[in-house]
Structure 1
Amino acid sequence: MKNKTVVRSMDILNLFLENPELTFQEIIDLSQIPKTSVYRMLLTLEEMGFVEKGKDSKYRLGLLFLTYGNLVASRLNLRQIAFDIMQELHKELKEAINLIVRQGDETIYIEKVDVYQKVRLYTAVGRRSPLYAGACARAILSFLPDQEIETYLNKTEFERIATGTITTKEELLRSISDARVNGYTISHSELEDYTSAIAAPILDFKGEVVGGLSIAGIEANYQDENIEFYAQKVMKAADEISYKLGYTKPPQ
């Protein structure tokens, strides 16, 4: 069931798709929402930064939308650049290929290719996971600046998601250290039992981590010499994506 206040707030914001600026009365007339309700919602939207009121008493979309717009554009760009590389990797390996980005203290899957994989995994576009859980998420966490990692560790409460989930600060720090030495992360049964993943970070033109790319499948396939094989494959693919995003180190 839709929340009436949220729907009405969206109705007001949608008015600005065709109108760069509107007076209070124009918003009432166009939205057909009662005056008192419009007043309350505009106050809230203004406080949150979704709209701003100029000295001329006209309302306009707030700068927050510029931030969101740039964020969406950057993610779409990453998705578009990565997709062909992900498809090629999937055709070669027949394992699921996942692409994620950071969202606060979580990560979100924004693309997945698993056409040829016989067993479907837990991963899906739109699924979220904490930064500490799973190879793909830790590929982002591990390559954040030290201060950001320290801040994150100090405020995070670990929750066991599957039998192999990292649940201590010490264990996570070891994993981060290994990732920085090896250039990749690995997980076994962290988000779902009997599954594994190997992931590498994606960097932008500033050398900052903006995403994670992983190869994932049934845990039995991610043992012994296969670990190094998959690691080299995912690092090479992540390097290709990073290079196309402007990172100056060309792929090997």
Structure 2
Amino acid sequence: MSTSLERALDILQSLSVRPDGPRQLSEMLDVHRSTVVRLLHSMESRGFVRRLPDGRWGIGFDLVEIGQRALDGIDLRDAARPHIQSLADELGHTVHVAELVGSDIVYVDKIEGLGSVKMRSRVGAKANAHAAGVAKAALAYAPAAVQDTAIVACDFERFTASTITDADGLRADFARIRARGWAIDDAEGEDYINCIAFPLFGLRDEVRGAVSVTAVRSIAPVSVLERHASRIRRAADAISAELGRPTPAAAAGAVTDAQLREPLIDS
């Protein structure tokens, strides 16, 4: 890598933290001020940096746009796949990833667990807002307008005796999810399976979807799945980091490693 390119990249990295002046940048790089000014003007011509009213320099809008386009190009399924594969291999249960699209939650990936049975979920299908763990995990952290739209569109069909069947019940569950840090589907969509699900976040800490671990209740009831909450949360954190989130997803929930037992293999 050329020295000029390295210096330009060092300048961009520094300005991404805070605006600065040529003198401070030259001291940081240990080069003459004229060298820094020349690099700044070259990058300014491409929109990578911009001069601020107070004489300092900051990141340019064209560079911000490039970064945003790059983030927009990150596919949730591709970002999540290696992490959910590891999760499925380790726990032996079915793992789902769903994406928040408008006010819908759509399954974008699914890895079947060992000896798994037929489930209603399939890639490309919408998850039931009131009964699926991934849907509840994503919507619990969605803006109020998105929640409202999802609730209005929900038919609240009763699938099992545990299904939430009204808007008040679903909103109350959203509050429990935010307090707990993860969602639970305890035989709410299908009476022989249950799951726990964690939200996934993007660059601006906006919810992008959710990841869940699903098991047959007779093999691993919710109480057993919750022993893996710390491990699933770490996978959700890693996926969120792939999506650009600068802070751990753990900040969204109350769960900590100290509050949970270490993951156990159940199946």
Indicate whether the TM-score tops 0.5.
Answer: yes
Show the 5 A alignment for 1:211-226: 211-220=209-218, 221-224=220-223, 226=224
Task: Identify if the C-alpha distance between structure 1 residues 157 and 176 changes in structure 2 by more than 3 Å, giving closer, same or farther.
Answer: same
Decide whether the 8 Å contact of 2:129 with 2:150 is kept in 1.
Answer: no
Residues 104 and 132 (structure 1), Cα distance of their counterparts in 2 relative to 1, 3 Å cut = farther
SS in 1 for 2:175: helix
Q: Shift of residue 200 of structure 1?
A: 0.4
1:59-96 deviation per Cα after TM superposition (whole angstroms, max 9, x unaligned)? xxxxxxxxxxx99x958621111000000000110000
What is the CA–CA distance in structure 2 between the aligned matches of 1:173 and 1:126, rounded to whole Å? 26
On the 8 A contact 2:198/2:210 being kept in 1, the answer is yes
User: What corresponds to 1:249 in structure 2?
Assistant: 247
Percent identity among equivalent residues?
28
Correspondence list, 1:112-151, <5 A: 112-114=110-112, 116-151=114-149
- Is the Cα–Cα contact under 8 Å of residues 121 and 217 in structure 1 kept in the other structure? no
| 118-127 or 173-182, larger mean C-alpha shift | 118-127
1:98 match: 96
Unaligned runs of 5+ in 2: 1-67, 251-267
Structure 1: distance between partners of 2:238 and 2:100 = 20
How many Å separate the matches in 1 of 2:75 and 2:149?
Answer: 29
CA contact (8 A) 1:139 1:200 kept: yes
Tell me the residue number matched to 1:111. 109
Deviation track 1:176-224 (CA, whole Å, cap 9, x = no partner) reads 0111011100012222221101000000001000111000011231243
Residue in 1 aligned with 2:86?
A: 88
C-alpha distance in 2 between matches for 1:100 and 1:74: 17
1:32-65 deviation digits (Å, cap 9, x = unpaired): xxxxxxxxxxxxxxxxxxxxxxxxxxxxxxxxxx
Structure 1 unaligned blocks of 5 or more: 1-69
C-alpha distance 106-162 of structure 1, shift in aligned 2 (>3 A)? farther
Q: Give the partner amino acid of 2:221.
A: Y
2:174 partner letter: I
**Over the residues paired in the alignment, what is the CA RMSD in angstroms?**
2.5
The equivalent of 1:196 in structure 2 is: 194
Residue aligning to 1:236: 234
